[in-house]
Each structure stands twice: as C-alpha cells, then as structure tokens.
C-alpha cells in the first residue's frame, strides 16, 4: 500500500522522460538539464519510485544505481548496504524564481538539516538523520527546487585515493636518485635521468628554461608547501583566505596532514628546475594552485559538491589549466555546469586536463568515467596513460591529428614524483603510475606549450589544437602521443610574432 | 567444502592447510588459460594496499568445479607484514570468476591502468570481497577485486599476478598488489 502511494507521488513530482543526463549525446545535451524537465537523474528517480513511503532513502544505493554500479546479483552487497543507512546529502538547484539565499534560508529552518553550503548555482545540504522516501520528497519535491541530485561519495566515487594510509610507493633501489647530489649538467636536478617520460615527449630543458609561467590548478589532495622541490611554485590567493575558500585552497600545512597524491601530481607538472633537488617538472616555471578536494580526515573520499565548487574556485581565480587527476562515475549537473563555466562552452577560456578513465561494470562492460567523458567539450583533454619505452617516438612524424577525439597518450608508468614524506633522503620522492600521472604530464605539456612565446598569445582552443596537431602517432595505439619537441621550432620566430604566425610556422593552420 | 574442490596440483600449502589428503589430480574443467596460475603458491612480494593484502602473505589459486569459480586460499608466513583479514582468513574464502580476454597482461599494463587495455587481459574478479574490518561498527566493507594474470616470464611455466582493488583505472596514489610464484 505504501509502495503504491509512493510511486504515485513520485511519478507526479519527478519527471524523468527525456532525461539525458548520462547518454551518448553528452555534449549535445550540455545545459539541457532544465530544458529536459527532469527533477533528478532518471536512475535516482527510479530508485525513489521503488521505495515505499516509509522506507528509508539510502544514499549509497541511490548513488550506486545512478552510477550503474548496482549489481542485480550482488546479494551480499545489498546486505552490506543494510548495515547502516547514512543520513542523506543532496545537491539542490533552486527554481528560476527562487533566489538561492531564499532556498538556503528555508533549509536552515529545517531542524533535520545538519549543514547547508551555498555555492554559485546550487546548494549542498546534509541531513542529520536518515529520512524516509516520504519525508525526503516532502522536502525536495517543492516548487523552490528545480533539480536535485545525491551528493555522492564513497569508494566507487573515489577521486584521488581509496587508500587512506600515508604510505609512499617505494622507488626501486636502482633508481634512488634522491640520494645523489646535483648533476654536473643542466638541469642539475639529480633525478632528471630517471624521467623517461620527459625524453619521450620531446621535452627540452632549454625550451623549459625560457618558458613563461602559466597558472595550473591542481584539484587534488593538496600540495605539500614545504617540499623542497616545490618551494616557490605554489600560488595562493590571499583574498581567498576566508570562509570555505580557505578550506578549499589551503595547501597542506605539513606533510603529516597531506595525502601524497596532489604533491605527486604537482612535481610532474611544475617541479622546480635546476635547483639541485629531485625532479624537474614539465613546465617548471608554472605556478601551482592547490585546490583541495580530498582530505585525510575525510578518508580521502570526495563529494560531488566539493568537486564542483573546486572547479569554480579554479576558474574564478584565473587558472589557465585545471588538472583533475581524479574520476567519478556519474554526470553530475553541478560538476558539468562548473566545467562548462570554467572552460567556456564554445570558445574555451582555459583547459581542463584529466586522465582517460573507464571502469568495469558488474557485467564487465566498460564505462568511461568523468571528467574524462567531458572531453567532448572544446576545453577538455583526456590523457591516456601509456608506457612508450620500446617505441621510437623520436623519429615518428607529427600526427597532425584533429582534436575532435580529445585523447592524447602521455607517460603513465614508473614516473618518479615528489611526495609528502621523506624516505631516506632530505626530500621525498616516490614512483607513480596511471591516469593520474598521465594527466599531470599532459597538464605540464599544455602549460609548457602555452608558456612558450609566442604561443602565450594563443587561446586555450588554439593550444589544444596545436597539441593534437604536433602529437606523434605510432602503431602501438590509436591515440597519438603528446609531444612538445616542436617548441624548439618557435625560436626562429621574431619577438613580435603572433599566435597566428606560430600556428602557420608549425603547420597547424586550418 | 573440500569435496567440491578439484585441484590442479595437490601440493600447495593452502591445500595442506585445509587438510585435503587427496584430490583429483587434474581439473579437467579448469580453463586452460589458468594453467600457469592454479595450484602454485604465490607470494605477495609488493603490496601498496597493505591493510587489504599483506606483503609476504601467500595464496594459492584453486579451481572449484562445483561452483565453477577459482578460490584464493591464503596462508600466513613468518615474513608477512600484517595478518590476512576478513574473507581472506576464511579457508579458500574468496571466490573469483574468470573473465577471459585474449592475452595475459604485463605489469606495465596494470600500472598504467587503462581499462580499455586491461579489458583485453585474462583476469579473475569478485565484486564483493571483505578484506579488512569496516570503519563502521558492525558494517561490512566490500571491495571489487581484479586479479590480472601476468604473462609468465621467460621459460617459467608459472605466472604471477597483479591485483587492483575497486577500479582498473588507476587514479590512486598507489594500489597495485603484486604476487610472484614461489
């Protein structure tokens, strides 16, 4: 009886037909959340419809259903879900005629609300107790709310880590380069020879030494501001040191309170060059903007609302490039709108670089995850992790690839990186791999390219097109390798050369 | 439980631990791609998920013909860094399904974590393995376990394994668990 009531009630308030939140025509539906008339993701609506009025809403089940992670045969998983139902969290979008502050005020009057956080276009609400379907719909299916989605986190929504332990990956004994003193040659960073990825992407220290700084936002676990190889690289906006901005932007105060992942990505992107310490980043003169999305005290789990607000923070603070070495399995409206706003819908203002990631569903089918799937947007590029050792990229010709697929291969195996805690040297290094490292490599390559005159006068879309045009294709993969050796060619251009001159010289014109 | 286990090779420590005095000599139903991996003891020589799979721990993969699954039978060793926990502690308590690709993986494939590539590799998988106590009292924390079968090196008939938890796409700080045949 209750179930019938609930289904009728839900059907009346949750329009789901035509919902295209996570469908192949992703970019075709950008901005269509409101136009589609849906009030919540179709899968969440279906979950709500399956509940009786007095059944409690389970955030984990809703998120698993939304992500197509729900295993229909997973009886043990369902039993595990029943252990403890968490209090729900949601991302709420106010209706067109409801000021966001009005929605916030309404939520703050609800005694069952534990916390409310207001962002540019949405509100994140966390309730203090589990709610029944009826109680939840009473709160969410109101004219003041145009759209709501679960504010998911959890292992399946992992961004930067599933492993809360602060342990670094040990380097093989043969490559304990941090124990060496500075090299005699330029650059003198002792681990330069271990950076096989630099060699394979055609990185030139002479070009890097002359490059101009770009601002790269690293949406991650923070960056260890005390690391010797990152000293002077961090950008922190003093104006942002208030309220939640402080929470988002504060770099790791110490290595103890900082999960290593963000620091690892930072070193690959912009580790200092020729300082006699550790590694050298691909764009060593660039500045790093740490934006914390995963914290040790939160078990390194990240909520969708945090990712969305972090992207907004990076955009509003003027990052040229946003690196997200992270993934999640759903097309969150809050995040998608933040990505579109930060990068620019049609003409990108900045580049968002991420790793190309997929997951196996319960039935072994492959599902590309986010933000990788946003690569159909003009300002987004996805890095496919690879190991080029054994391939001869040096003699491969430029691929002259179109940027339409938006996937480039980048080094993603055995990458020597900066990390947060010392091993047996005075500064810390580890070894990383995967889509995270590939993303960091590509972000560094984009920053170096954009920072090499006269390409500093180019737009984000021009930089993206150049990266694809001058990538190198091999037989080993359908995805061309990012390759920046071409930057040397720009030295022949005069000081007054324009971006168009450079594009013509590189053979990347229309 | 013992009676339904059809062992490919009988001398593993895990089998001895179960008290299996004699078993069918060869598993006619075990898939041939599993031949280099079943019945041999494998030592976890490197674990970046120490809380989930301990370095130094030993496991043997066996074929359970009744359920058509491969079971991981663990054994503790004196050099083990931490104890096996939860499902790992149950004798042969982790059941894995074979997902056949068209080749064995390399360690480099696993490190890169490109699911497109890894989907072509032979692997064992279970979606719901409890590997350590839940952080929630009374709770159950289940993991998605993917065991990739590594190409046997050189002329060795035995292959090692590389294990990933929860996602083939490696955006994590670490996460690879590597095992070598003894």
Same domain, A138 and A275: no
Q: What is the pLDDT of residue A466?
A: 96
Q: State the smallest CA–CA distance between residue A489 and chain B in angstroms.
A: 31
**Could you tell me if B174 lies within 8 Å of chain A, comparing CB atoms?**
yes
Percent of chain A whose predicted confidence (pLDDT) is above 90: 53
pLDDT confidence of B118, banded at 50, 70, 90? very high
Tell me which chain A residues have a C-beta less than 8 angstroms from the C-beta of B51: 163, 165
Same domain, A210 and A130: no
- Chain centre distance of CA B28: 20
Kindly state whether residue A506 falls inside one of the protein's structural domains: no
Tell me which chain B residues have a C-beta less than 8 angstroms from the C-beta of A440: none
pLDDT at B104 over 90: yes
* Token output for A287: 């500045």
Tell me which chain B residues have a C-beta less than 8 angstroms from the C-beta of A71: 127-128
How many independent structural domains does chain A possess? Answer: 2
Same domain, A313 and A367: yes
Q: What is the pLDDT of residue A101?
A: 97
Q: State the smallest CA–CA distance between residue B176 and chain A in angstroms.
A: 10
Beta-carbon contacts of B48 under 8 Å, excluding residues fewer than 6 positions away, are A163, A167, A169, B173, B174, B175, B176, B177
More confident: A82 or B15: A82
pLDDT tens digits for A250-293? Answer: 555 444 556 788 888 999 999 999 999 889 999 999 999 988 88
Kindly state whether residue A383 falls inside one of the protein's structural domains: yes
Q: What is the pLDDT of residue B1?
A: 34
Q: What is the pLDDT of residue A160?
A: 42
Same domain, A194 and A342: yes
Kindly state whether residue A426 falls inside one of the protein's structural domains: yes
Beta-carbon contacts of A458 under 8 Å, excluding residues fewer than 6 positions away, are A450, A466, A499, A502, A503
Kindly state whether residue A502 falls inside one of the protein's structural domains: no
Domain parsing of chain B, residue ranges: 2-181
CB-CB under 8 Å, A432 with B114: no
Q: What is the pLDDT of residue B165?
A: 86
pLDDT tens digits for B80-98? Answer: 999 999 999 999 999 999 9
> What CATH number corresponds to the domain at position A235?
3.40.50.200
Same domain, A117 and A190: no
Q: What is the pLDDT of residue A309?
A: 92
Kindly state whether residue A177 falls inside one of the protein's structural domains: no
CB-CB under 8 Å, B175 with A162: yes
CB-CB under 8 Å, A74 with B170: no
CB-CB under 8 Å, A412 with B111: yes
Cβ(B68)–Cβ(B100) under 8 Å? no
Q: Residue A378 forms beta bridges with which residues? A: none
Tell me which chain B residues have a C-beta less than 8 angstroms from the C-beta of A165: 50-51
pTM, two decimal places:
0.87
ipTM: 0.81
pLDDT tens digits for A422-445? Answer: 555 456 677 777 899 999 999 999
Same domain, A259 and A347: yes
Kindly state whether residue A480 falls inside one of the protein's structural domains: no
pLDDT tens digits for B6-35? Answer: 433 333 444 444 433 334 444 468 999 999
pLDDT at A142 over 80: yes
Looking at every residue in chain A, the average pLDDT score rounds to: 83
More confident: B20 or A384: A384
pLDDT tens digits for B146-173? Answer: 999 999 988 888 999 999 988 887 765 5
Same domain, A218 and A145: no
CB-CB under 8 Å, A156 with B171: no
Q: Is B123 helix (H, G, I), strand (E, B) or coil?
A: strand
Closest residue on chain B to A419 (Cα): B173
Closest residue on chain B to A300 (Cα): B172
For A113, other C-beta atoms within 10 Å of its C-beta total: 16
Of A450, A469, A488, the one marking the end of a domain is A450
Same domain, A100 and A193: no
Cβ(A162)–Cβ(B166) under 8 Å? yes
**Could you tell me if B54 lies within 8 Å of chain A, comparing CB atoms?**
no
- Domain encompassing residue A216: 184-391+404-450
CB-CB under 8 Å, B113 with A167: no
Q: State the smallest CA–CA distance between residue A234 and chain B in angstroms.
A: 21
**Could you tell me if A158 lies within 8 Å of chain B, comparing CB atoms?**
yes
pLDDT at A395 over 90: no
Q: What is the pLDDT of residue A401?
A: 79
pLDDT confidence of A79, banded at 50, 70, 90? low
């Amino acid at each position: 009886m209750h179930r019938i009531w609930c289904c009728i009630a839900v059907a009346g308030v949750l329009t789901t037909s035509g919902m295209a939140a996570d469908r192949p025509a992703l970019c075709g539906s950008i901005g269509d959340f409101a136009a589609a008339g849906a009030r919540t993701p179709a899968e969440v609506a279906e979950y709500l419809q399956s509940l009786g009025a007095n059944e409690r809403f389970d955030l984990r089940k809703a998120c698993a259903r939304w992500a197509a992670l729900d295993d229909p045969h997973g009886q043990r998983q369902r039993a595990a879900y029943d252990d403890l139902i968490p209090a729900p969290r949601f991302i709420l979008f106010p209706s067109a005629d409801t000021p966001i502050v009005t929605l916030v005020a309404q939520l703050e009057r609800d005694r069952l609300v534990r916390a409310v956080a207001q962002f540019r276009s949405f509100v994140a609400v966390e309730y203090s107790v589990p709610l029944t379907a009826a109680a939840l719909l009473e709160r969410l299916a109101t004219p003041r709310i145009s759209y709501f989605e679960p504010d998911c986190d959890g292992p399946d929504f992992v961004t930067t880590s599933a492993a809360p332990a602060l342990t670094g990956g040990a380097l093989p004994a043969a490559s304990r380069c941090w124990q060496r003193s500075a090299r005699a040659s330029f650059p003198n960073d002792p681990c330069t020879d271990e950076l096989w990825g630099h060699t394979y992407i055609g990185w030139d220290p002479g070009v890097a030494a002359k490059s101009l700084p770009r601002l790269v936002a690293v949406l991650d676990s923070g960056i260890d501001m005390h690391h010797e190889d990152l000293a002077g690289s961090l950008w922190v906006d003093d104006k942002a040191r208030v309220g939640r901005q402080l929470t988002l932007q504060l770099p790791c105060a110490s290595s103890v309170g900082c999960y290593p992942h963000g620091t690892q990505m930072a070193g690959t992107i912009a580790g200092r060059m020729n300082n006699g310490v550790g590694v050298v980043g691909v764009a060593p003169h660039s500045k790093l903007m740490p934006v914390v999305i995963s914290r040790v005290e939160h078990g390194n789990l990240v909520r969708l609302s945090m990712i969305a607000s972090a992207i907004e923070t990076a955009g509003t603070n003027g990052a040229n490039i946003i690196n997200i070495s992270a993934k999640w399995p759903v097309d969150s409206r809050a995040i998608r709108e933040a990505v579109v706003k930060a990068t620019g819908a049609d003409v990108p203002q900045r580049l968002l670089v991420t790793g190309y990631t997929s997951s196996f569903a319960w039935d072994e089918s492959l599902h590309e995850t986010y933000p990788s799937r946003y690569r159909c947007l003009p300002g987004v590029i996805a890095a496919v992790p690879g190991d080029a050792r054994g391939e001869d990229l040096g003699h491969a010709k430029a691929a002259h690839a179109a940027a339409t697929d938006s996937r480039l291969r980048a080094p993603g195996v055995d990458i020597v990186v900066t990390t947060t805690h010392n091993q047996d040297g005075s500064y810390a290094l580890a070894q990383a791999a995967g889509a995270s490292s590939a993303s960091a490599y590509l972000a560094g390559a984009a920053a170096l390219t954009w920072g090499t005159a006269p390409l500093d006068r180019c737009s984000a879309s021009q930089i993206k097109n150049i990266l694809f045009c001058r990538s190198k294709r091999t037989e080993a993969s359908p995805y061309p390798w990012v390759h920046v050796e071409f930057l040397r060619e720009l030295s022949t251009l005069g000081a007054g050369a324009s971006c168009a001159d450079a594009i013509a010289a590189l053979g990347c014109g229309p | 439980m013992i009676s339904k286990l059809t062992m490919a090779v009988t001398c593993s420590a895990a089998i001895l631990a179960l008290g299996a005095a004699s078993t069918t000599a060869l598993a006619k139903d075990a898939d041939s791609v599993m031949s280099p991996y079943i019945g041999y003891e494998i030592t976890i020589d490197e674990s970046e998920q120490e809380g989930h799979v301990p370095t130094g721990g030993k496991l043997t993969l066996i074929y359970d013909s009744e359920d058509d699954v491969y079971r991981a039978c663990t054994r503790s060793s004196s050099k083990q860094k931490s104890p096996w926990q939860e499902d790992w502690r149950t004798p042969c308590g982790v059941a894995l399904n074979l997902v056949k690709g068209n080749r064995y993986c390399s360690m480099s494939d696993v490190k890169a974590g490109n699911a497109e590539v890894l989907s072509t590799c032979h692997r064992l998988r279970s979606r719901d393995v409890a590997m350590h106590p839940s952080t929630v009292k009374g709770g159950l924390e289940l993991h998605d376990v993917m065991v990739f079968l590594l190409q046997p090196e050189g002329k060795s008939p035995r292959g090692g394994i590389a294990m990933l938890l929860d996602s083939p796409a490696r955006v994590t700080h670490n996460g690879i668990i590597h095992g070598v045949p003894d």
